[in-house]
């Protein structure tokens, strides 16, 4: 799968900025400040894309608002990972008929991973006539053009052609936080795990150039950002399409050498490609958070093979052992799927025993959801839904016990935390490993690192107080 990465020509991007100017002039001539609402579903990749959509919208003169009611533009940036995620979007899309009835000039767009499936765009064409535009993730960089065509031609736009995908540098971004930032280092996925829709809707793996990523990180750090999360579906294959001699561990190292007081973290690491070199690099630099999200999906080597994951239980456990050895304070999280087609009770119990053995800080737990077009959707699946639900509940109960136990072990420790916001009468902070801590102090501390002594723990969060020393 050695496709060369296509970069969108700066001239093509300039043309998009030309559309932004036309849209801004359109609203100025009407003496109006238009408003826009972007709703994001799914993972951090979509959060990062929404920041770009907001960047474009601001460039077009829109003011960003927090609800669909009354907004001139509404964008639903969607997720296709499970059926439930799609149903929610269709439900919310249906509800937008009412907001549009009250504000007939409202323009509604659907983008993101669902938009990359023809079944979805066909359904929108036929059954959701109030949707003005649909564009897949490959066409996000063309959003100003799409919006301009909808405004000026009064015609629905569908930008959904299937492509391997490209990279567009220089799209403006309106970031959600001044303290924490997502930085996409690569797009797409080549792995084709048999249950997963992502490679079909996000195209082939393509990496941004190291110098572009470094420049973005330097700018963020200079602007006061303290916590950077590098994003990719499989960050460990970073650089393979570039032939530039920089792999993911090298990239991390280069970012860690930027002067300043900040932490870098990343997601997601595929266990097949997570190397000792990566763990050694993490261990070497204080600026790399000792946090690792390493999805295992199943504790059974037979199921892992059927999932096309390219590692088995033993190799996974060996990697975890090494990572914990070189980083004793490592906070380890993971993803797991319950009820993959054909998973037996014994295989499920192997998943439970792996969880026991590894002792994850927390887990993202999913029940298998068949995705049309993926190989697993066609596999025989004799296990009844009720049995899958029972397994899911057993797994969650086990993990909750472990999370609680780990959280209790924090009590009495004093940790350096980034104070990142407010929650009712509390301030919130994050430990280096990303655990949430609530404590009482003056709001002026938001944006600073503080030493916090942990005084209490629940399954989900920690509480503490400012350290006296």
**Binding footprint of ligand SAH on the chain (CB under 6 A):** 81-82, 195-196, 198, 233-234, 268, 270, 295, 297, 335, 337, 366, 368-369, 371
State the CB neighbour count (10 A cutoff) for residue 316. Answer: 25
State the CB neighbour count (10 A cutoff) for residue 306. Answer: 20
CA of 333: how far to CAs of 303, 330, 393, 425, 435, in Å? 20, 10, 18, 29, 11
Instruction: Compute CA 252 distance to the chain's CA centroid, rounded to the nearest angstrom.
Output: 18
Written as one string, the DSSP assignment of 400-441 is: HHHHHHHHHTTTT-EEEEEEEEEETTEEEEE-TT--EEEE--
CA of 143: how far to CAs of 54, 109, 112, 204, in Å? 11, 10, 12, 21
202 touches ligand F3S (CB under 6 A) = yes
- Least distance between ligand SAH and beta carbon 82 (Å): 5
The 145-184 site mask, x for binding ligand F3S (CB under 6 A), equals ----------------------------------------
**Nearest alpha-carbon partner for 189 in 254, 124, 241:** 241
198 touches ligand F3S (CB under 6 A) = yes
Q: Which stretch binds ligand SF4 (CB under 6 A): 1-9, 170-178, 186-194, 361-369?
A: 186-194
79 touches ligand F3S (CB under 6 A) = yes
With CB cut-offs between 5 and 8 Å by kind, which of ligand SAH, ligand F3S, ligand SF4, none does residue 82 bind? Answer: ligand SAH
> Interaction with ligand SF4 in 266-285: which residues (CB under 6 A)?
270
196 touches ligand SF4 (CB under 6 A) = yes
SS3 287: coil
Q: What angle do CA 327, 329, 334 make, to 5 degrees?
A: 85
140 touches ligand F3S (CB under 6 A) = no
> For residues 233 and 268, what is the distance between their CA atoms, to the nearest angstrom?
6
Which residues, listed in sequence order, are joined to residue 267 by a DSSP beta bridge? 231
The 23-52 site mask, x for binding ligand F3S (CB under 6 A), equals -------------------xx-xx------
The DSSP output letter for 328 is T
With respect to ligand SAH, which residue has the nearer C-beta, 62 or 368? 368
With respect to ligand SAH, which residue has the nearer C-beta, 183 or 415? 183
With CB cut-offs between 5 and 8 Å by kind, which of ligand SAH, ligand F3S, ligand SF4, none does residue 45 bind? Answer: ligand F3S
With CB cut-offs between 5 and 8 Å by kind, which of ligand SAH, ligand SF4, ligand F3S, none does residue 80 bind? Answer: ligand F3S
With respect to ligand SF4, which residue has the nearer C-beta, 270 or 435? 270
């Amino acid at each position: 799968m050695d496709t060369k990465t296509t970069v969108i020509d700066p001239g093509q991007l300039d043309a998009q900025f030309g559309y932004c100017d036309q849209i801004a002039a359109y609203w100025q001539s009407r003496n109006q400040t238009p408003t826009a609402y972007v709703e994001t579903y799914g993972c951090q990749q979509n959060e990062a894309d929404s920041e770009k959509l907001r960047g474009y919208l601001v460039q077009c003169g829109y003011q960003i608002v927090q609800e669909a009611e009354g907004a001139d533009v509404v964008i639903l940036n969607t997720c296709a990972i499970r059926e439930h995620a799609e149903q929610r979007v269709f439900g919310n899309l249906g509800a937008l008929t009412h907001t549009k009835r009250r504000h007939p000039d409202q323009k509604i767009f659907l983008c993101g991973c669902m938009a990359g499936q023809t079944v979805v765009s066909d359904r929108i064409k036929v059954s959701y006539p109030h949707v003005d535009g649909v564009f897949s993730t490959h066409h996000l960089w063309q959003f100003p053009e799409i919006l301009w065509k909808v405004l000026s031609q009064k015609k629905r736009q569908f930008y959904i052609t299937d492509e391997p995908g490209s990279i567009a540098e220089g799209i403006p971004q309106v970031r959600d936080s001044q303290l924490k930032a997502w930085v996409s280092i690569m797009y797409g996925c080549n792995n084709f795990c048999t249950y997963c829709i992502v490679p079909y809707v996000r195209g082939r793996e393509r990496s941004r150039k190291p110098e572009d990523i470094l420049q973005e990180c330097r700018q963020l750090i200079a602007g006061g950002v303290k916590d950077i999360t590098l994003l990719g579906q499989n960050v460990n294959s970073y650089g393979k399409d570039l032939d530039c001699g920089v792999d993911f561990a090298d990239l991390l190292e280069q970012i860690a050498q930027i002067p300043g007081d900040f932490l870098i973290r990343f997601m997601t690491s595929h266990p097949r490609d997570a190397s000792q070199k990566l763990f050694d690099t993490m261990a070497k630099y204080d600026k790399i958070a000792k946090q690792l999200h390493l999805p295992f999906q199943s504790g059974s080597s037979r199921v892992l093979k059927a999932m096309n994951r390219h590692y088995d239980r033993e190799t996974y456990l060996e990697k975890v052992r090494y990572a914990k050895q070189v980083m004793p304070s490592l906070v380890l999280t993971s993803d797991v799927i319950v009820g993959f087609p054909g998973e037996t009770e014994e295989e499920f119990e192997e998943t439970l025993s792996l969880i026991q053995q590894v002792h994850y800080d927390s887990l993202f737990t999913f029940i298998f959801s068949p995705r049309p077009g993926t190989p697993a959707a066609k596999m025989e699946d004799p296990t009844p839904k009720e049995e899958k639900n029972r397994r899911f509940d057993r797994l969650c109960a086990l993990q909750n016990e472990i999370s609680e136990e780990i959280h209790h072990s924090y009590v009495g420790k004093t940790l350096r935390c980034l104070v990142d916001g407010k929650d009712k009468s509390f301030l919130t902070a994050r430990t280096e490993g990303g655990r949430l801590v609530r404590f009482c102090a003056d709001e002026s501390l938001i944006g600073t690192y503080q030493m916090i002594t942990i005084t209490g723990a629940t399954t989900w969060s920690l509480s503490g107080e400012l350290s006296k020393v």
